[in-house]
């Protein structure tokens, strides 16, 4: 072979090498392009693994396994290099071991041709959690070169961390966008004062936001739907063919209580005939009707219309259903607030009647039944009408014990409330002055008698007559003083109880003739004083009977009869009372004057409802009379 042939062969090999390098560069550019704009996770991981294996020399194969920590889906391969037909069993083993030990590993093994090879695995950790494993099949090399592969492996895993963060952000952003959409739509409702304006603005906002040709809303009225608002239309004719078709289509969704979507291949079993008719009439091939959920029941339907080229997907339908669950109660509340007051009252009554005759609300039915039964009983049944009054026991009579003369209290041990017997000493007055006065008149009597005998001896008739008169005067004075001395002993004139009087605290105090020292009342003769309210005095007459319960004898009622009505009223506790006297028909042992209790006078039998309400009715009549001009 000459030089020329060698030269030609050398230039051919250089040309082939340049072509191969150019093809490899083109493949790597394609990988980078696909890596920058992936459509799926598998595509991202496959491009990343291919670039990683290309950057590291001596790599025969690689695999990426992804999963979820803490009981999530098991780790499964999502990318294999150079192709899926490669036997990656040995790489799965080193990956499982690296997952268990939670660290990078390199394991030496023998290849098919007997040469030494290394299986290298590195876990993909983010915030302490392992989300995947990358395993590589490398040829034999020094330990320093293996460590270099591990560093490159660790460096390249940062892209996988970016993948996981991107997936998390994508999962968060979608609900955030939906929430922002819902909040924005709800703000259009609360900013309106009337339900019609809120409905019009709502459907217009929905049509704009979801690229709908028309959005309409209707509310339930007498069991069917009445269209109330159309998007971008403040007013519309209720009798037009389109509005009637809309109403019938909404009735179809209302009757089935489900969301109806056409075309919708996943909604088998639903009836969509009226929606298909609406699509033919309106020219919009994609229609979605969603029932509006109210506080307790479905209150209306929202219908969305698009062209056939923009069908409604499942995600959009779920968003519509979420919106209907939120805006339904708000629209129903606004619609109820816009009613006239009379209409509100009638609707409230109708709702209560429906609840009363319907299959539910057992507690309400039971309450109404008990209330009606009680009212009928109170209206028809009769009871004893009695006038209640405060009562106090007073003695039928009182006897005063007075001082017989001017003097001073010497002794006294009895007081009010003590029982005494007839002729029992109540008090003793000081009698020393009376005894001195008696001695004076006795000595004067004796002196006059001596003078009388002397005049009689001298037969002085005139003097005898004068002295005889003086002796009679002295005897009368002594007798008078004797009687007054007897009266210093104050005694009880009868058996009874001391009502008033207590001289034990006034020993030595002066008393005057005729001064009342004690008052006594008999033990077997009492009367009852009733304080009857002026509003009930007209029902009380002499001769009526009643019963008295005293605070000291709560278990022993006493019978009495009315004997006298006094025409004089007394004031107390902010009311006027009349004094009514009654006599006891049975006297119990232990009664004492001053005992208090409650008495009830039997008037007659009247209806129970009148007995319990007549006081309020009388008060209302009086107030009405006072307010009238």
pTM beyond cutoff 0.75: no
Tell me what the mean pLDDT of segment 410-422 comes to.
83
Of residues 14 and 326, more confidence is placed in 326
Given strand 224-230, what is the order of strands in its sheet?
224-230, 214-221, 298-306, 286-293, 260-262
Of residues 385 and 355, more confidence is placed in 385
Given this model, what pLDDT does residue 602 score?
A: 93
pLDDT of residue 391 exceeding 90 = yes
Taking a C-beta distance cutoff of 8 angstroms, is the pair 292, 298 a contact? yes
Of residues 390 and 131, more confidence is placed in 390
Q: Report the range of poorest mean pLDDT among 303-312, 364-373, 422-431.
A: 422-431
Here the tokens at position 398 are 């009182």
pLDDT tens for each residue of 507-535: 888 888 888 888 888 877 888 999 999 88
Given this model, what pLDDT does residue 169 score?
A: 45
Given this model, what pLDDT does residue 562 score?
A: 93
Taking a C-beta distance cutoff of 8 angstroms, is the pair 434, 560 a contact? no
9 pLDDT band, cuts 50/70/90, is very low
Write out the H or E segment, with its range, that includes residue 326: helix 314-337
Question: What is the share, in percent, of the chain residues with pLDDT greater than 70?
Answer: 81
pLDDT tens for each residue of 115-125: 778 777 777 76
Which of 159-168, 173-182, 237-246, 384-393 has the highest mean predicted lDDT (pLDDT)?
384-393
10 pLDDT band, cuts 50/70/90, is very low
Taking a C-beta distance cutoff of 8 angstroms, is the pair 522, 547 a contact? no
Question: What is the overall mean pLDDT for the chain?
Answer: 79
Write out the H or E segment, with its range, that includes residue 349: helix 341-357
- Mention every residue, 6+ apart, whose C-beta is less than 8 A from residue 364: 355, 356
Q: How many residues does the chain have?
A: 629
Given this model, what pLDDT does residue 271 score?
A: 83
* List of domains in the chain: 21-169 (3.30.450.40), 192-338 (3.30.450.40), 399-519 (2.40.50.100), 525-627 (2.40.30.170)
Q: Report the range of poorest mean pLDDT among 335-339, 451-455, 566-570.
A: 335-339
pLDDT of residue 600 exceeding 90 = yes
| CA atoms of 243 and 530, how far apart (whole Å) | 81
| CA atoms of 276 and 285, how far apart (whole Å) | 8
pLDDT of residue 30 exceeding 90 = no
| CA atoms of 519 and 503, how far apart (whole Å) | 12
Tell me what the mean pLDDT of segment 64-88 comes to.
70
Instruction: Give the residues across from 628 on adjacent strands.
Output: none
């Amino acid at each position: 072979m000459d030089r020329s042939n060698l030269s030609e062969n050398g230039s051919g090999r250089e040309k082939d090498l340049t072509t191969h390098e150019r093809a490899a560069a083109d493949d790597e550019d394609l990988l980078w392009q696909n890596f920058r704009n992936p459509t799926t996770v598998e595509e991202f991981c496959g491009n990343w693994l291919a670039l990683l294996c290309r950057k590291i020399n001596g790599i025969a194969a690689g695999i990426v396994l992804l999963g979820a920590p803490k009981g999530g889906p098991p780790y499964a391969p999502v990318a294999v290099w150079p192709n899926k037909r490669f036997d990656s069993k040995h790489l799965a083993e080193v990956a499982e071991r690296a997952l268990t030990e939670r660290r990078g590993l390199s394991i030496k093994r023998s290849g098919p041709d007997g040469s030494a090879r290394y299986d290298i695995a590195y876990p993909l950790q983010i915030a302490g959690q392992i989300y995947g494993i990358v395993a590589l099949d490398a040829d034999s090399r020094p330990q320093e070169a293996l460590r270099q592969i591990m560093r490159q492996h660790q460096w390249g895993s940062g892209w996988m961390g970016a993948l996981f963060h991107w997936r998390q952000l994508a999962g968060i952003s979608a609900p955030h966008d939906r929430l922002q959409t819902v909040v924005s739509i709800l703000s259009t409702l609360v900013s309106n004062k009337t339900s019609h304006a809120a409905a019009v603005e709502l459907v217009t906002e929905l049509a704009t936001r979801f690229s709908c040709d028309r959005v309409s809303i209707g509310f339930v009225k007498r069991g069917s739907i009445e269209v109330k608002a159309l998007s971008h239309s403040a007013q519309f004719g209720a009798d037009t063919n389109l509005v009637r078709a809309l109403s019938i289509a909404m009735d179809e969704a209302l009757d089935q209580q489900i969301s109806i979507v056409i075309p919708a291949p996943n909604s088998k079993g639903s009836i969509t005939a009226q929606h298909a008719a609406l699509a033919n009439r309106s020219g919009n091939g994609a229609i979605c009707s969603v029932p509006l959920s109210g506080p307790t029941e479905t209150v209306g339907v929202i219908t969305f219309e698009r062209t056939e080229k923009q069908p409604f997907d499942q995600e959009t339908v779920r968003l519509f259903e979420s919106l209907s669950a939120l805006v339904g109660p708000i629209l129903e509340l606004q619609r109820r607030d816009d009613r006239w007051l009379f209409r509100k009252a009638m609707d409230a009554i109708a709702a209560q009647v429906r609840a009363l005759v319907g299959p539910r609300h057992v507690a309400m039915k039971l309450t109404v039944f008990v209330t009606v039964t009680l009212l009928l009983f109170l209206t028809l049944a009769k009871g004893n009408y009695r006038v209640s009054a405060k009562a106090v026991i007073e003695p039928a009579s009182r006897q005063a014990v007075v001082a017989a003369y001017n003097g001073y209290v010497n002794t006294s041990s009895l007081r009010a409330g003590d029982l005494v017997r007839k002729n029992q000493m109540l008090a003793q007055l000081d009698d020393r002055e009376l005894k001195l006065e008696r001695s004076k008149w006795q000595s004067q009597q004796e002196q006059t008698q001596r003078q009388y005998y002397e005049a009689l001896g001298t037969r002085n008739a005139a003097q005898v007559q004068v002295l005889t008169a003086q002796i009679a005067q002295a005897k009368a004075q002594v007798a008078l003083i004797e009687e007054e001395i007897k009266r210093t002993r104050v005694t009880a004139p009868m058996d009874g109880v001391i009502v008033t009087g207590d001289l034990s605290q006034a020993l030595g105090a002066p008393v005057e003739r005729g001064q009342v020292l004690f008052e006594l009342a008999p033990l077997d003769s009492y009367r009852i004083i009733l304080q009857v309210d002026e509003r009930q005095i007209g029902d009380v007459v002499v001769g009526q009977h009643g019963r008295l319960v005293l605070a000291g004898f709560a278990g022993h009622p006493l019978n009495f009869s009315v004997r006298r009505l006094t025409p004089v009223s007394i004031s107390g506790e902010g009311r006027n009372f009349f004094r009514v006297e009654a006599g006891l028909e049975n006297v119990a042992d232990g009664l004492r004057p001053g005992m208090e209790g409650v008495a009830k006078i039997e008037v007659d039998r009247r209806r129970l409802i009148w007995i319990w309400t007549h006081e309020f009715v009388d008060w209302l009549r009086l107030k009405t009379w006072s307010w009238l001009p």
